[in-house]
C-alpha cells in the first residue's frame, strides 16, 4: 500500500487457503501436494445472517485500510462502506462491519512475473475467491506496487488479471467488489506504468494513492508535503482527461506524514535532505520516516516552530530538534488540508474517499486525542 511497502517488509500472504477450484483432473494429480481441505467453516458471527455478503451499492464510498489490532472498534462506522484488511484476518471485525452494512475485502498481491501465465492467473484467482468465501468476505483490493513497463507482457497480463479477478468475484460472490490501487498520478510514477483505462474498465473502481508524492524528486532535495494540494488535484484532472470516469476514482488520503532530518534548515524553514535515489530519481521521501498522525499530534506542541502552514502546498508542517541536536522537519495532513482535497472529491463527483490507514489515529480515549481523532473522521464528510 503506501510507500511503507517500499521499505518495510510486506506482510506475508495469509496462510490457510484451501484447494483452489481447479479442474477435477488437475485436482487429482495435485492431491498429495495440497493442504487438507478445510471443513466448511461455520459462520463465526452470532447472527448467521451477518455471514451473507453485502449487496448494497453506496452512492459514496468511504474506503478504509486497516492494518490489524482492535482499534477498528473506535472507527466512525457511520461513514465506512469498505474495509480492506491488510493485517491479520479478524472474524470479529468481519461480523461487525457486516452489521454496519460495510464490505470487508482481502488484500491481493502477486508476482507480476507469475501472472504472465494464464493458468497461474486462474489458479491464483480461484485461491483468492476461495479465501474470501471461507472468511465471508466481500471482495479484494489488488495492491501491486512492482515496476511495470509499457509495452511488456506484464503490462497486458496485469490488465487481464484485474478483468479475470473481477469476473470471478462477481460471479462467485454476489455483490462483491474488486478494486485496484494506483499511484497518485497516471504518469508512470515509481516506474509503474499501467493500462489505466483498461484496468479501470475491468474493476469496480481505482483507489488513487494520493500520497508519497515525493517518492521521486527530480528538482531540489528539500523536504516537502506528502500530498501537496495542487499536485494532487492536477493528477486527478490527468486521470479524467485520459478518459476515466470520475465514478471510477476514490481519493486516498494520508493519515500519516514524513519526518525528515534536515542537513540544513534555513530561517525561512527550507530543510535540505539527504539524497536517497528511488527508481531513477536522485532524491526521494525515502530520506524521511513515515509517522502516523497520532505521533505527530503528540509532538507538535513541543516542537520548535509550532504548526506552520505552507500556502503553496496547502499543507501543515513543523520543525523540531531531536535529543542529538539535529533539526527535523515534519510534513503531514490535518483536517484543514484534508478538507481542501475533500472539496475536490465533491466538486468533481468522484466515487469516494479513503485513507492509508485508519489505524494512524489515536483511539486511546484521552480527551484531547479523542477530539483530534473525531476531527480527522469529520474532515472526510461533504460540506454543505
Ligand atoms: C488497455 O486495455 C484495453 C482492454 O483490454 C485494450 O483494449 C487496450 O488496447 C489497452 N491499451 C493499451 C495501450 O494497451
Ligand atoms: C498547479 O499545477 C499545475 C501543473 O503542475 C501548474 O501548471 C499550475 O501553475 C499550478 N498552480 C499553482 C497555483 O501552483
Ligand atoms: C496542543 O495545543 C493545542 C492548541 O493550543 C491544544 O488545543 C491541544 O490540546 C494541545 N495538545 C496537546 C496534546 O496537549
Pick the more confident residue, 333 or 17. Answer: 333
Q: Which residues are catalytic?
A: 145
Give the nearest ligand 3 atom to 298 CA.
Answer: 13
pTM recorded for the entire structure: 0.90
* pLDDT for 175: 98
Give the residue whose CA is nearest to atom 5 of ligand 3.
301
Residue recorded with cell 527550507: 270
Pocket test for ligand 1, best of 158, 197, 201 (most atoms within 8 A of CB): 197
Domains and CATH numbers, the chain: 48-256+333-380 (3.20.20.80)
Q: How many CA atoms lie within 13 A of 24 on its CB side?
A: 0
Encode pLDDT of 341-368 as tens digits.
Answer: 999 999 999 999 999 999 999 999 999 9
- Compute CA distances 373 → 67, 87, 360, whole Å: 17, 21, 9
DSSP state of 8: S
pLDDT band at 6 (very low <50, low <70, confident <90, very high): very low
Encode pLDDT of 43-57 as tens digits.
Answer: 999 999 999 999 999
Give the nearest ligand 3 atom to 368 CA.
Answer: 9
Give the residue whose CA is nearest to atom 13 of ligand 1.
195
Residues 6+ apart with CB under 8 A from 115: 121, 124, 154, 157, 158, 160, 161
Q: Is the CB of 159 under 6 A from ligand 1?
A: yes
Encode pLDDT of 247-276 as tens digits.
Answer: 999 999 999 999 999 999 999 999 999 999
Give the nearest ligand 3 atom to 297 CA.
Answer: 13
Ranking 35-39, 115-119, 133-137, 164-168 by mean pLDDT, the lowest is 35-39
Question: Rounded to whole angstroms, how far apart are CA atoms 185 and 189?
Answer: 7
What 3-state class would DSSP assign to 326? coil
Pocket test for ligand 3, best of 293, 295, 301 (most atoms within 8 A of CB): 301
Encode pLDDT of 194-244 as tens digits.
Answer: 999 999 999 999 999 999 999 888 888 999 999 999 999 999 999 999 999
Encode pLDDT of 149-203 as tens digits.
Answer: 999 999 999 999 999 999 999 999 999 999 999 999 999 998 999 999 999 999 9
Amino acid at each position: 500500500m503506501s510507500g511503507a511497502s517500499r521499505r518495510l517488509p510486506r506482510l506475508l500472504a495469509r496462510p490457510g487457503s484451501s484447494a483452489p477450484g481447479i479442474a477435477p483432473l488437475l485436482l487429482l494429480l495435485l492431491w498429495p501436494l495440497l493442504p487438507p481441505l478445510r471443513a466448511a467453516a461455520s459462520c463465526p458471527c452470532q447472527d448467521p445472517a451477518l455471514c451473507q455478503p453485502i449487496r448494497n451499492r453506496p452512492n459514496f464510498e468511504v474506503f478504509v485500510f486497516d492494518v490489524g489490532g482492535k482499534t477498528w472498534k473506535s472507527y466512525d462506522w457511520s461513514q465506512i462502506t469498505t474495509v480492506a484488511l491488510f493485517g491479520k484476518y479478524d472474524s470479529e471485525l468481519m461480523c461487525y462491519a457486516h452489521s454496519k452494512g460495510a464490505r470487508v475485502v482481502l488484500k491481493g498481491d502477486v508476482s507480476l512475473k507469475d501472472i504472465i501465465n494464464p493458468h497461474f492467473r486462474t489458479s491464483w484467482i480461484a485461491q483468492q475467491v476461495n479465501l474470501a468465501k471461507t472468511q465471508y468476505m466481500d471482495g479484494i483490493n489488488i495492491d501491486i506496487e512492482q515496476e511495470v513497463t509499457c509495452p511488456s507482457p506484464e503490462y497486458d497480463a496485469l490488465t487481464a488479471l484485474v478483468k479475470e479477478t473481477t469476473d470471478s468475484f462477481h460471479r462467485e460472490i454476489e455483490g462483491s467488489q474488486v478494486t485496484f490501487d494506483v499511484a497518485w498520478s497516471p504518469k508512470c510514477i515509481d516506474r509503474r506504468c499501467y493500462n489505466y483505462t483498461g484496468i479501470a474498465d475491468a474493476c469496480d473502481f481505482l483507489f488513487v494513492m494520493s500520497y508519497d508524492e515525493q517518492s521521486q524528486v527530480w528538482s531540489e532535495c528539500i523536504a516537502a508535503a506528502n500530498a501537496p494540494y495542487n499536485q494532487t488535484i492536477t493528477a486527478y484532472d490527468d486521470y479524467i482527461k485520459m478518459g476515466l470516469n470520475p465514478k471510477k476514482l476514490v481519493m486516498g488520503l494520508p493519515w500519516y506524514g514524513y519526518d525528515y532530518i534536515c542537513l540544513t534548515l534555513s530561517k525561512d524553514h527550507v530543510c535540505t535532505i539527504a539524497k536517497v535515489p528511488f527508481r531513477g530519481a536522485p532524491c526521494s521521501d525515502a530520506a524521511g520516516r513515515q509517522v502516523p498522525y497520532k505521533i505527530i499530534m503528540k509532538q507538535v506542541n513541543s516542537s520548535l516552530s509550532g504548526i506552520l502552514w505552507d500556502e503553496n502546498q496547502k499543507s501543515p508542517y513543523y520543525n523540531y530538534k531531536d535529543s542529538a541536536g539535529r533539526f527535523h522537519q515534519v510534513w503531514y495532513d490535518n483536517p484543514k488540508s484534508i478538507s481542501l482535497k475533500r472539496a475536490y472529491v465533491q466538486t468533481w463527483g468522484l466515487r469516494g474517499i479513503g485513507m492509508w490507514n485508519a489505524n494512524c489515529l489515536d483511539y486511546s480515549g484521552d480527551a484531547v486525542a479523542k477530539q483530534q481523532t473525531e476531527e480527522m473522521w469529520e474532515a472526510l464528510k461533504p460540506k454543505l
